[in-house]
Structure 1
Amino acid sequence: MAPSGTESDTEVEAARYRLTGFGFAVLASLGLGLAIAVARIAFEGGTDGQSIAMVRAWFVVLLVGGWCLASDRSLRVEWWVWLNCLGLGTLLAHMFFGNIGAVKYIPVGVAALLFFIYPPLVSVFTAILDRRWPGFLRFSGFLIAFGGLGVMLGVEFDDLDPLGLFFGLSAGVACAINVIWIGRVMGGRDPLVVMFHMALVAACVLTVVVLAIVGFTAPTTTAGWLGALGVVLLQGCSIPLYYAAIPRIGVETSSILNNLQPVAAIGGAFLLYGEALTSAQAIGGGMVIGGILLMQLSSKLRRMTASAD
């Protein structure tokens, strides 16, 4: 018996919905990666990471808030949710800054890969909180990823600015804590509404830091303005796209596609500046990405086993 037109239409609509999710995730990952590469143009044009992060945070607030209102989402949340958003937003503020701020001091590719240490950290922190052994594949992936970090940084550690290393690594740690916090406390909440409140807190924190402590630094060249605008648009638009992809294709697929982010950053740095990773950095970076993929495979196999049972 042939399927009815209604059933066929439903299947086509579901396929289109999922395909849109793939598109959102790929665009988000490419945008976030390219923004790291473009940030150097902004810095060379006279501005700094704090100033760009502040403007970008307010742009995300307006963009996500507008998206929520246009899709009839209520921005109201319970008081305890907003209290959690205070902590989550503070972490997000450092993620906004550290992820691009590191580029001022260290190569783009190294900065991108340092931030991407957050997936292994999520696995480690989760295992500690749950008091359970992470499993052979997951633990192997963790060792490979952190071994890659050691290879990437160990050979040429003296040539890398400690401040850039701190910004990159601490942003990755902040991201890992943020991801676990959201997963354990914000379950069932609309991710875009949560993102709006986190971004609002991050924007307020960065505004206080910039205006009251370090001062706002505007670009002094046309290239600097274009670079700053590029970072704001690329990262500001990519974050909502990533959150929009999750309900369409799931967290696991979104996370796998997010591995394109450091690849895009490294490729962008090569095209824009002719900057290439050294052999040690390339091997270490490959180990980091390989370790992350192995941990994602472990998660998928565990879920398949649980479903079979």
Structure 2
Amino acid sequence: MICLSCARHLTQKQDGIGFRFRVRYAPDPSGGAFLMTFNNGLAILILMFASTLFAGNHVAARLAFDDGAGLIVALLARSLMACLIMFSLARVNRISFRIPASLRWRQWFLGFLIAGQSFALYSAVARVPVAVALLLVNTWPVYYIVLGWLTGREVFRLPLAMMMALILIGLTLVLNLPQMISETMVLDDQWWIGIGFGLLSAMLLCTAMWQTNMHLAELPGSVRSFYTMLIVFVSMLGLGLTGILPGSFTLPESTAGFWAIGALALLYGIASTVLFVLAPRLNMSRNSPVLNFEPVASLGLGFLFLQQFLQPLQLVGGGLVVIGIVAIGLLK
């Protein structure tokens, strides 16, 4: 979080990319200074960076699960790390942790939304192929933009809708969904339950981002995110203690598994900090589809750390996603 004593306008051009970065400053809700806000070029790069960190978190989580780590262990580790980072940000900037009475129920609601989204995501992964679960969850930006259109906060624009469709087509190819479906000949009840959990996860994440952007933007980002992650931590701890999920507290079997737990916690903590703290300044109603870069990044990281190989059709899909991302950033 960067605070300045006066408002300024800066323009910078990044060599080799062509985005023009215009940096503006807006009043800080925590107390009269100014916070940096970003135009679309810089916002897109920030969202792609966060997406790559989230992808790294998933790769590290897979390594930890392969080493015997339980689901709740991973969720507790990453939410605790995020809590510590948010708390440190607020303390360093001397921001009050007090939340206005009128917003407290919304903060609780946001925390439970993120907790439910995390549970739904892993419930989907447990029942359907990971590629299908990721595709379903990564449709949340589409719901977000459509919600903006339906509520009248954003004007419907056909070019943006076409780019959203292109991104979804690209994700279908990147995640190899046609082959996944063709290899799953019998669609039993567990399949449909998994699909339901995947859609629920996407809808909960969309609602959480809408809640943040529309109703909690006036709260300091670090404080808002601290309470959100704290609620997630307590919720997951309580869920694990109920015994509903057997083996949820199982620790990794080797040192490599513990390193993976540490990595997923650190990567998730940094990524969630970037996303939730800066969300009100990233024009999410327009740029949220950029977060669909996460599965593309996960394929690259999976190749490096999990020896997962890319097929030509997946590379084509990745290209479509990148084209859609760049096009959304260039649309006026």
Q: Which range, TM-score by smaller chain? A: 0.7 to 0.9
Q: Which residue of 1 aligns with 2:257?
A: 224
Q: Does 1:93 pair with 2:87?
A: no
Match of 2:165 in 1: 143
C-alpha distance in structure 2 between counterparts of 1:297 and 1:146, whole Å: 18
CA separation of 1:223 and 1:94: change in aligned 2, threshold 3 A: farther
Cα offset, 1:227, TM superposition: 1.4
Q: Is there any run of 5+ residues in structure 2 with no aligned partner, and where?
A: 1-5, 12-21, 24-35, 185-189
Alignment of 1:189 with 2:213, yes or no, is: no
CA distance in 1, matches of 2:128, 2:314: 12
CA distance change for structure 1 residues 157 and 80 in 2, over 3 Å: closer, same or farther?
Answer: farther
Contact 1:25 1:245 in 2 (8 A): no
Aligned partner of 1:39 in structure 2 is 61
How far off its partner does 1:235 sit?
0.6
Q: Does 1:271 align with 2:301?
A: no
Contact 1:28/1:238 (<8 A) preserved:
yes
Give SS of 2:151's match.
helix
Whole-angstrom distance in 2 between the partners of 1:158 and 1:122: 30
Superposed displacement of residue 112, structure 1: 4.8
Cα pair distance change 1:98/1:182, threshold 3 Å:
same
Shift of 1:238: 2.2
User: 1:198 pairs with 206, 228, 253, which one?
Assistant: 228
Q: Which moved more, 1:127-136 or 1:27-36?
A: 127-136
| Residue from 69, 77, 90 that aligns with 1:55 | 77
- Cα shift at 1:232: 0.9
After TM superposition, the structure 1 stretch with the greater mean CA deviation from structure 2, 22-31 or 122-131, is 22-31
- Tell me what 1:305 maps to: none
CA distance in 2, matches of 1:164, 1:256: 23
Q: Is the 8 A contact 1:26 1:258 kept in 2?
A: yes
Distance 1:280 1:197 in 2: 42
Match of 2:180 among 156, 163, 176: 156
Q: Which of 230, 238, 247 is residue 208 of structure 1 equivalent to?
A: 238
Instruction: Give 2:31's aligned residue.
Output: none
1:6-17 equivalence runs, <5 A: none
Structure with more helix by fraction: 1
- CA distance in 2 between counterparts of 1:27 and 1:288 reads 15
Higher relative contact order (CA closer than 8 Å, sequence separation 6+): 1
Q: For 2:273, what is the secondary structure of its paired residue?
A: helix
Q: How does 1:115-134 map to 2 (within 5 A)?
A: 115-130=137-152, 134=156
1:241 to 274, 287, 291: 274
Q: Which amino acid aligns with 2:303?
A: F
Q: Is the 8 A contact 2:290 2:325 kept in 1?
A: no
User: More strand by proportion, 1 or 2?
Assistant: 2
User: C-alpha distance in 2, partners of 1:10/1:136?
Assistant: 32
Q: Is 1:79 the counterpart of 2:62 in the alignment?
A: no
- Name 2:210's counterpart in structure 1: 180
Residues 246 and 145 of structure 1, relative CA distance in 2, 3 Å threshold: closer
SS at match of 1:210: helix
User: Using the alignment, how far apart are the partners of 1:69 and 1:44 within structure 2?
Assistant: 37
For 2:97 and 2:317, locate their aligned partners in 1 and report how far apart those are by CA, in whole Å: 43
- Which residue does the alignment assign to 1:3? none
TM-score (norm 2): 0.70
d(CA) in 1 for partners of 2:82, 2:75:
10
Distance in 2 (CA, whole Å) between partners of 1:43 and 1:102 is 15
Matches of 1:25 and 1:71, distance apart in 2: 23
Tell me by how many angstroms 1:136 deviates: 0.9
Q: Which moved more, 1:272-281 or 1:284-293?
A: 284-293
* Alpha-carbon distance in 2 for matches of 1:28, 1:131: 25
Gaps of 5+ in 1: 1-6, 302-309
Shift of 1:130: 2.4
Q: Deviations over 1:124-176 (max 9, x none)?
A: 12222328762211221233334445555244215469476555544333221
Instruction: Tell me, in whole angstroms, the C-alpha distance in 1 between the residues paired with 2:134 and 2:172.
Output: 15
State the 1:64 CA deviation.
0.6
Supply the RMSD in Å over aligned alpha carbons. 3.8
Q: CA–CA distance in 2 between the matches of 1:103 and 1:165? A: 9
Q: Give the conservation status (yes or no) of the 8 Å contact 2:296–2:318.
A: no
Which residue type is aligned with residue 115 of structure 2? A
